[in-house]
Amino acid sequence: MKWGIIGTGNMGSMLTTSLIRSGAAQADEITIYNRSSKKTAKLKEAFEDLDVAKTLPALCKACDIVFICVKPHDYKSIIEQVEGELHEHHCVVSITSPVSVEELEEKLSCQVARVVPSITNHALAGVSLFTFGSRISTDNQKLLREAFHHFSTPVEVEEAHIRVSSDIVSCGPAFVSFLLKEWISAANRVAGISEEKATQLTEQMIVGLGELFSQEIFTLEELMEKVTVKGGVTGVGLQALEDHTGELFVEMFKATQAKHREDKQSIEL
């Protein structure tokens, strides 16, 4: 199977390296293309067997599965350039939430899917969000699921829940990092610990927490129960969190839902 990656920014580069590093694909099975040459040159330096296409038609000719990894507003220009180059056997995969498989199917005659990755896939972990179009063959569905299974947990998601699902798995690493920065800063201000030391403790706590989930040792509820010693400090801290969280997360999810609606209205394929 030949894989094509259009756009080798954060996500296109991550997909290229994760496909190879996880063993899902060999470097010589992947063709990459980017608007400017610096990022493709860096990938070629790391994996010399990668094929770097000079044009979008050349990439389409060389590949069966074609990932579009550009920003949502750049999809239109890519689709206009590739539509005449794609045939029934091709499968185009969008990696962005605001572009639905229905919209892609209206513009392209080939098979389509959407797979929204996460920066956590860099560590060959985390989730990838799958939505299949109506024309994609069962063989290609299987192939995509198996490839992504090498470096993520593929989860199917319906269109109505793509925004909130992507908020959790794809935006989540940025949102949680923001909260942890606040936590570190407060630890410094209230108790005088250096931010450097608090960062080291926090990062390692998160690694340990991830392992507890990964090894299915405790659920969220069990963790709260096991750590809260009767009459101890955790209970006091949890109560302070409950008293002050307020509408914080409701507001965050409302903001992303509103931006999603706005993006969908302004993106024209």
Ligand X SMILES: NC(=O)C1=CN([C@@H]2O[C@H](COP(=O)(O)OP(=O)(O)OC[C@H]3O[C@@H](n4cnc5c(N)ncnc54)[C@H](OP(=O)(O)O)[C@@H]3O)[C@@H](O)[C@H]2O)C=CC1
Query: Does residue 1 have a known ligand-binding role?
Result: no
CB contact burial 232-268 (16+ within 10 A = b; e otherwise): eeeeeeeeeeeeeeeeeeeeeeeebeeebeebeeebe
For ligand A1CAB, the closer of residues 61 and 161 by Cβ is 161
With binding defined as CB under 6 A, does residue 165 bind ligand A1CAB?
no
Query: Nearest approach, Cβ of 248 to ligand X (angstroms)?
Result: 22
CA dihedral 138→108→68→121, nearest 10 degrees, is -20
Q: Which residues face 5 on adjacent strands?
A: 32, 67
Query: Nearest approach, Cβ of 165 to ligand A1CAB (angstroms)?
Result: 9
Query: Nearest approach, Cβ of 152 to ligand X (angstroms)?
Result: 11
Place of tokens 């949890």: 238
- Dihedral sign, Cα of residue 83, residue 144, residue 120, residue 117: positive
Of 170, 184, 187, 198, which lies in the binding site for ligand A1CAB, with binding defined by CB under 6 A? Answer: 170
With binding defined as CB under 6 A, does residue 157 bind ligand A1CAB?
no
With binding defined as CB under 6 A, does residue 128 bind ligand A1CAB?
no
Of 77, 137, 185, 219, which lies in the binding site for ligand X, with binding defined by CB under 6 A? Answer: 77
152: CB partners within 8 A, 6+ apart: 18, 117, 118, 120, 121, 124, 125, 126, 127, 128
Contacts of ligand X in 10-49 (CB under 6 A): 10-12, 33-36, 39
Q: Which of 2-10, 45-53, 142-150, 200-208 is the region at the interface with ligand X (rule: CB under 6 A)?
A: 2-10
Count CB atoms within 10 A of the CB of residue 89: 10
- Residues flagged as binding site: 6-11
Interface ranges with ligand X (CB under 6 A)? 6-12, 33-36, 39, 69-72, 74, 77-78, 95-96, 116-119, 170
